[in-house]
Structure 1
Amino acid sequence: MKNNSAMTKIPKGYTTITPWIISRNTARLIDFMKKTFDGEEIARLYNEDGSVGHAEIRIGDAVVMMFDAKKEWPDTPAFLRLYVEDGDAAFRRALQEGATTMTEMTDMFFG
Structure 2
Amino acid sequence: MPIPEGFSAVTPYVFVDGTEAYLHFLQRALAAEELGRSTAPDGRIANCQMRISGATIMLAEASEAFPASRAAFYLYVEDAEAAMLRARRAGAEVIMEIGDMDYGDRQGGVRDPAGNIWWISQRLVAGPYY
TM class by smaller structure: 0.7 to 0.9
Asked which structure has the greater RCO (Cα within 8 Å, sep 6+), the reply is: 1
- The structure whose residues are more often strand, as a share, is 2
Q: Which amino acid aligns with 2:102?
A: F
Alpha-carbon separation, structure 1, partners of 2:11 and 2:18: 20
- The structure whose residues are more often helix, as a share, is 1
1:7-35 CA distance string (max 9 Å, x none):
x2211222111111111122122212222
Deviation at 1:82, TM superposition (A): 0.2
Aligned residues: 104
Percent identity over the alignment is 32
Out of 31, 37, 43, the position equivalent to 2:36 is 43
Query: 1:30 is matched with which residue?
Result: 23
Alpha-carbon separation, structure 1, partners of 2:47 and 2:20: 11
Query: 1:5 is matched with which residue?
Result: none
TM-score with structure 2 length normalisation?
Answer: 0.70
**Where does structure 1 lack aligned partners over 5 or more consecutive residues?**
1-7
Q: Residue 11 and residue 73 in structure 1: after superposition, are their counterparts in 2 closer, same or farther (change >3 A)?
A: closer
Out of 4, 11, 16, the position equivalent to 1:11 is 4
TM-score with structure 1 length normalisation?
Answer: 0.81
Alpha-carbon separation, structure 1, partners of 2:81 and 2:94: 13
Q: Determine helix, strand or coil for the equivalent of 1:90.
A: helix
- Deviating more after overlay: 28-37 vs 75-84: 28-37
Q: Which runs of 4+ in 1 moved over 6 A?
A: none
